[in-house]
Amino acid sequence: MRIEDGKVFVRQSWLGDSLLCLERGRLMMTQPEFRTTNDSAMLGTAVHAGIEAVLTNKIEARDAHHVSVAKLNELQLNDNVKITNTDPSTWEPLVTSMTKAWVDGVMPEVPLGGEVEYKFAVPTGRMVSGLELWFEGTMDYVHESGVWDWKTAARKYSLLEKQTQNIQSAIYSGASVNLGLCSHDMEGGIDFRFGVMVRSLKGDTQILSVRRGKAHWDWVVEQAATIVGAYLALREGEAFTNAMPKNDQHFLCSDRWCPWWSVCKGVFIQDKDNKLGDQ
Ligand code: SF4
């Protein structure tokens, strides 16, 4: 989150991370230079580049994978990429396969005429500690019929899990209605679609549609207001210097999956400390 001109701006990715671990959310704000990225995020960014080039009419769909691979090569120059569960020799074929999968399996379902990489900021109408609470972010694709987001994932998503818990769809759908980008209203609800490319050489895709309405918007505003309130209550003056509760009771708290490991649990716990002894 960031504070500017009496407003506090929250991004969905920060809110999701902060709900998982308050310290992770604080480190995002205070020590961005220590953030690491991982292979899975890098592959996703590369595939996004190809998709964006097609949707903005910079290239033909059949050439999308070339843009994705060029982006992958650029991203690989960063030697701070953590390898989680992929083999680097498969990165280029995977990026090629996932981009082609989007062209063949997702693109035909995407309505034409929308906005690509749409940056937004929207007020929630809620005040927190004297600040206006706003959401901000970038929509992969917004059309009058709803918002789309492109995901690369190790496996297909669970529709029930996304419908009951997903934060991004609630924020982006509410923002698209409040900003007049969609022709529906929050009372009737609108559809938010995930275009998912499964990380495999088979080219599997999935289009997942979750329904979002006023109840989801109200709940995500409540979630954001309570989290932001907790950070603001614990800051010293203008600075977030006080460490927040460090929640390591979930699998994303690990050297592989937490971008802040090196300045948090990693200061205490090394690989050798997690080795099982003789049973
Ligand atoms: S290492 Fe664990 S406790 Fe520390 S910020 Fe990451 S998830 Fe939270």
How far is CA 74 from its chain centroid?
A: 21
3-state secondary structure of 147: strand
Residue to mutate (ligand 1; options 14, 17, 21, 252; most atoms within 8 A of CB): 21
| 136 CA → ligand 1 middle, Å | 24
The pTM assigned to this predicted structure is: 0.94
| 232 CA → ligand 1 middle, Å | 20
Residues with CB under 6 A from ligand 1: 21, 23-24, 27, 246-248, 253, 258, 260-261, 264-265
Q: Is the pLDDT of residue 93 over 70?
A: yes
Task: Provide the pLDDT for residue 245.
Answer: 94
For residue range 21-53, what is the model confidence (pLDDT) as tens digits? 999 999 999 999 888 889 999 999 999 999 999
Q: Is the pLDDT of residue 214 over 80?
A: yes
For tokens 């995500």, the residue is 220
Task: Provide the pLDDT for residue 271.
Answer: 80
Helices (H) and strands (E) in the chain, counts: 9, 9
| 257 CA → ligand 1 middle, Å | 9
Task: Provide the pLDDT for residue 208.
Answer: 96
| 237 CA → ligand 1 middle, Å | 24
Q: Is the pLDDT of residue 186 over 90?
A: no
